[in-house]
């Protein structure tokens, strides 16, 4: 694939991720302002707490109730009530609750079973109430309810934990695949370098084994020849000395000795060409070192961020599960904004960060292998 196309795809993916991160930051920075939670000519209390003084977007104002327990709801107005309805907001989806007709009284009290409303499990829920008055006016309000209990014993909590586990396992498998991936030229570079290394080793001549053996053999023969010559010359000199001591032979002649020395010198000059090959073979500190070969360089794997489809899918699954767990553990309110934030975070972490870590490991591993092969070839 063309490197320009790869770089363009990388830039597009990074721009998309940057946009998602911007949306995440903008939604996280949105702070709800405290306001009266009753709209219309009526008032309401939940477990004796005036709803008008609470902020349904603040966890600190949540009314704590036990799972399996009951909530006391009261409403009052100067005009009588015709009917009322209670709904739950679960990640932007309204879950139907209790809907009843009233008898026209200006006040009513109702005990509501928590399990009838908190059907998704425990945690934080935003509860909406809408009442229709006898004169046709509408009175509405909202309150935050914190249902206490063990999230893992509920269907929603178990499903959220399973989704996070499934997404994490899938992303981990993708991470291992990215670390050993041959995409993006990583495997191609590794194969090319290792093939070149094998060819170099296969065609490489023996270091100097045969030449060294030949040199040793010639040097041994040369030393043996010189030893024999020196022994013969020494024996001849000894004979001459003995003859002189015995008075035999000719008396010492200086001129003859001079001519003898000149003859030896002429013999050495004449035989010099025959001795040069042996002198070249013999090792000596004065021989010029062979020029060092230029170290061979191979291409390196190029690092780029990595985004995978598998990681994106796993991120969406894990993000949805994380949003449910945050709600079930009363860490965050089950709103649509929370769900979107967790989905974005899952896509970024599982779809970009983890595959990029895997690619980084692969690039470092391959480039390290290339460096080792270069050093071995340079020896």
Side-chain half-sphere exposure of 144, counting CA atoms within 13 A: 21
In sequence order, the 6+-apart residues with CB closer than 8 A to the CB of 243 are: 249
pLDDT attached to residue 181: 54
> Which CATH number is 101's domain given?
2.70.50.30
Same domain, 260 and 371: yes
* 286 lies in some domain: no
What are phi and psi for residue 322, nearest 5 degrees? Answer: -65, -40
Same domain, 115 and 192: no
Burial class of residue 332, CB neighbours in 10 A (0-12, 13-18, 19+): buried
Alpha-carbon distance of 181 to 304, in angstroms, equals: 13
DSSP state of 152: G
- Residue ending a domain, among 149, 178, 197, is 149
Q: Are 59 and 333 in contact (CB under 8 A)?
A: yes
* 289 lies in some domain: no
- Mean pLDDT, consecutive 10-residue stretches, the chain (379 aa), reads 49 58 53 59 92 89 89 90 89 82 88 79 90 92 91 92 95 73 55 66 52 48 64 64 50 52 56 56 52 68 86 95 95 93 95 88 84 76
* 287 lies in some domain: no
Same domain, 223 and 354: yes
DSSP SS3 for 33: coil
Q: What's the maximum distance between 2 C-alpha atoms anywhere in the chain?
A: 167
- Residue ending a domain, among 149, 179, 194, is 149
pLDDT attached to residue 376: 77
* 161 lies in some domain: yes
pLDDT attached to residue 321: 96
pLDDT attached to residue 2: 44
Same domain, 145 and 157: no
Domain count within the chain: 2
Burial code (b: 16+ CB inside 10 Å, e: under 16) for 151-180 equals beebebbebbbebbeebbebbeebbeebbe
In sequence order, the 6+-apart residues with CB closer than 8 A to the CB of 165 are: 321
Strand partners, 83: 101, 132
Same domain, 204 and 330: yes
* 290 lies in some domain: no
Alpha-carbon distance of 373 to 234, in angstroms, equals: 59
Same domain, 105 and 64: yes
pLDDT attached to residue 374: 78
* 23 lies in some domain: yes
CA distances from 105 to 27, 78, 102, 204 (A): 43, 9, 7, 104
What are phi and psi for residue 12, nearest 5 degrees? Answer: -65, -45
Same domain, 126 and 79: yes
Q: Are 147 and 126 in contact (CB under 8 A)?
A: no
Domain boundaries, position 143: 38-149
* 284 lies in some domain: no
In sequence order, the 6+-apart residues with CB closer than 8 A to the CB of 56 are: 37, 126, 142, 143, 144
pLDDT attached to residue 36: 46
Q: How far apart are the first and last CA of the chain?
A: 35
Alpha-carbon distance of 145 to 59, in angstroms, equals: 9
What are phi and psi for residue 49, nearest 5 degrees? Answer: -100, 130
Same domain, 160 and 200: yes
Same domain, 210 and 85: no
- Residue ending a domain, among 104, 126, 149, is 149
Same domain, 252 and 357: yes
Same domain, 66 and 205: no
* 262 lies in some domain: yes
* Tokens (6 digits) for 71: 């909530």
Q: Please give the angle made by the CA atoms of 159, 164 and 170, to the nearest 5 degrees.
A: 120
pLDDT attached to residue 35: 45
Same domain, 175 and 44: no
Q: Are 42 and 128 in contact (CB under 8 A)?
A: no
DSSP E strand stretches across the chain: 38-39, 42-46, 49-50, 63-66, 70-77, 81-90, 93-101, 107-113, 123-133, 138-148
């Amino acid at each position: 694939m063309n490197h320009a196309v790869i770089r363009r795809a990388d830039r597009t993916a990074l721009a998309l991720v940057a946009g998602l991160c911007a949306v995440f930051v903008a939604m996280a920075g949105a702070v709800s302002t405290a306001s009266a939670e009753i709209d219309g000519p009526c008032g309401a209390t939940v477990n004796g707490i005036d709803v008008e003084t609470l902020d349904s977007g603040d966890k600190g104002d949540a009314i704590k109730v036990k799972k399996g327990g009951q909530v006391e709801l009261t409403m009052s107005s100067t005009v009588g009530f015709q009917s009322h309805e209670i709904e739950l907001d679960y990640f932007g989806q309204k879950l139907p609750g209790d809907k009843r007709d009233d008898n026209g009284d200006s006040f009513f009290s109702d005990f509501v079973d928590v399990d009838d409303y908190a059907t998704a499990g425990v945690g934080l829920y935003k509860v909406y109430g809408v009442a229709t008055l006898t004169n046709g006016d509408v009175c509405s309000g909202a309150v935050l309810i914190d249902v206490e209990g063990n999230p893992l014993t509920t269907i929603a909590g178990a499903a959220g934990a399973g989704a996070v586990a499934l997404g994490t396992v899938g992303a981990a498998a993708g991470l291992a695949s990215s670390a050993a991936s041959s995409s993006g030229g990583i495997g191609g570079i590794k194969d090319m370098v290792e093939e070149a290394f094998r060819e170099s080793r296969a065609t490489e001549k023996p270091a100097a084994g045969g030449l060294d053996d030949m040199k040793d053999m010639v040097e041994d023969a040369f030393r043996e020849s010189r030893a024999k010559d020196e022994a013969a010359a020494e024996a001849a000199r000894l004979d001459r000395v003995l003859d002189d001591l015995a008075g035999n032979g000719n008396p010492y002649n200086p001129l003859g000795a001079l001519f003898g020395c000149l003859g030896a010198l002429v013999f050495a000059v004449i035989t010099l060409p025959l001795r040069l090959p042996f002198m070249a073979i013999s090792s000596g500190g004065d021989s010029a070192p062979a020029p060092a070969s230029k170290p061979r360089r191979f291409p390196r794997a190029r690092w780029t961020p990595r985004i995978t489809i598998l990681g994106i899918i796993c991120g969406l699954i894990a993000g949805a599960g994380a949003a449910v767990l945050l709600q079930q553990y009363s860490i965050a309110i089950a709103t649509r904004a929370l769900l979107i934030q967790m989905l974005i975070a899952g896509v970024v972490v599982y779809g970009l960060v983890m595959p990029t870590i895997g690619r980084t490991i692969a690039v470092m591993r391959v480039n390290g292998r290339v460096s080792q092969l270069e050093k071995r070839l340079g020896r």
